[in-house]
């Protein structure tokens, strides 16, 4: 059951990336990010409200327990990290081919591991060192594929946005390692969705809206609410899989990385992107390195 849940989570996460690219092509970034976050917050508001009214019982998978001020502040911090990551990611996805962005995002476990070395004092074994070297080597080779499309990894700011977003997401992952030990998973997912909107609303109101005519004009597309919907489903399936008693976390993490293959393959055909065979080979090399990192734990 948990394997099916992990695979389903990866599929939803990959399609989520496709919806992001569809919504962002030629569109204003900040309102797309805000409205997709509103969709997620609206969906997660229902379990919170129904739990507060005792309509959802405490034994249910959808139950959101009451939490204290300390927990709210910890979730708010997570929301701030993720909003920063997503803002950078959305700009990168708008301006770069998805077959470039997805492989960059797939390196997140590498940055998580580096953070674990620094923060938690973890040490690498031989398999993990092999994984790190493999990932970095293929990531460098992957940068040569970008040059064929006029995208220079060293000087293109949107490449750096994608890298910074990946590092921030890895930071969030490290923080989750602590957060989910002290706060219920449904409370984290529910209030995290709410605080995203709280943080983005003033940015939209006081920064984007007064200057909206200077930026790309906003167009509503039905892909926008599906961004929020598919992310909520992907995260719920992931948390559900992790909480299965017989679940193997390393296998779940590896299966979840398959989302980049979904985004790469679908994006390649839907958006008619270039140099697919070359980028595909380098992507498989990056994923091989990531698998070595994951199974070397």
**CB neighbours of residue 152 within 10 Å:** 11
Who has greater pLDDT, 149 or 176?
Answer: 176
- Identify the CA nearest to 35 among candidates 46, 24, 48: 24
Residue 230: the pLDDT is 95
> Going by C-beta distance under 8 Å and a sequence separation of 6 or more, which residues neighbour residue 242?
249, 252
- Identify the CA nearest to 83 among candidates 161, 199, 176, 180: 199
Least confident residue range of 113-117, 124-128, 276-280: 113-117
Size (the chain), residues: 297
| Burial environment of residue 40 by CB neighbours within 10 A (0 to 12, 13 to 18, 19 or more) | buried
Who has greater pLDDT, 248 or 64?
Answer: 64
What is the chain's mean pLDDT, rounded?
A: 87
How many domains does the chain divide into? 1
pLDDT grade, residue 46 (50/70/90)? very high
Q: Measure the CA dihedral 165/166/167/172, to 10°.
A: 90
pLDDT in tens, 144-170: 776 677 777 778 899 999 999 989 988
pLDDT grade, residue 297 (50/70/90)? low
Instruction: Give me 67's structure tokens.
Output: 């939490």
Instruction: Give me 85's structure tokens.
Output: 């990551």
Instruction: Give me 215's structure tokens.
Output: 């930026």
pTM summary value: 0.87
Dihedral (CA of 235, 237, 238, 239) sign:
positive
Residue 102: the pLDDT is 82
Dihedral (CA of 166, 171, 172, 176) sign:
positive
- Identify the CA nearest to 90 among candidates 161, 144, 186: 161
Give the domain range for residue 217. Answer: 2-295
E strands of the chain, at which residues?
A: none
Residue 120: the pLDDT is 65
pLDDT in tens, 218-255: 999 999 999 999 999 998 888 778 777 777 666 677 77
**CB neighbours of residue 122 within 10 Å:** 13
pLDDT in tens, 23-45: 999 999 999 999 999 999 999 99
Residue 48: the pLDDT is 95
The H-or-E segment that residue 116 falls in is: helix 108-119
Give the Cα separation of 93 and 295 in Å (integer).
29
Give the Cα separation of 157 and 167 in Å (integer).
15
Who has greater pLDDT, 90 or 112?
Answer: 90
Percent of the chain past pLDDT 90, that is, above it, reads 46
Q: 228 and 38 in contact (C-beta within 8 Å)?
A: yes
Percent of the chain past pLDDT 70, that is, above it, reads 95
DSSP state of 149: T
Who has greater pLDDT, 104 or 193?
Answer: 193
Least confident residue range of 3-17, 170-184, 244-258, 281-295: 244-258
């Amino acid at each position: 059951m948990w394997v099916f849940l992990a695979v389903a989570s990866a599929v939803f996460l990959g399609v989520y990336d496709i919806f992001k690219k569809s919504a962002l092509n030629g569109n204003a970034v900040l309102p797309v990010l805000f409205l997709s976050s509103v969709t997620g917050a609206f969906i997660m508001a229902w379990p919170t409200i129904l739990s507060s009214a005792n309509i959802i019982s405490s034994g249910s998978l959808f139950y959101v327990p009451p939490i204290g001020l300390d927990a709210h502040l910890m979730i708010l911090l997570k929301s701030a990290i993720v909003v920063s990551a997503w803002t950078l990611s959305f700009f990168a996805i708008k301006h770069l081919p998805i077959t470039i962005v997805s492989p960059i995002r797939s390196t997140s476990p590498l940055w998580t591991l580096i953070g674990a070395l620094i923060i938690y004092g973890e040490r690498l074994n031989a398999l993990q060192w092999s994984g790190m070297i493999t990932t970095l080597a293929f990531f460098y080779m992957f940068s040569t594929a970008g040059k064929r499309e006029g995208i220079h990894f060293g000087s293109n700011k949107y490449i750096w946005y994608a890298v910074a977003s990946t590092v921030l997401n890895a930071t969030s992952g490290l923080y989750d390692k602590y957060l989910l030990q002290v706060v219920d998973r449904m409370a984290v997912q529910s209030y995290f969705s709410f605080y995203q909107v709280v943080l983005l609303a003033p940015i939209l109101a006081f920064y984007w809206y007064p200057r909206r005519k200077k930026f790309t004009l906003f167009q509503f597309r039905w892909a926008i609410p599906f961004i929020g919907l598919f992310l909520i489903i992907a995260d719920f399936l992931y948390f559900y899989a992790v909480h299965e008693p017989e679940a193997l976390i390393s296998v779940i993490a590896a299966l979840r990385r398959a989302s980049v293959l979904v985004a790469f393959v679908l994006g390649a055909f839907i958006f008619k992107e270039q140099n697919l065979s070359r980028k595909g080979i380098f992507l498989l090399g990056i994923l091989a390195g990531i698998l070595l990192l994951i199974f070397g734990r």
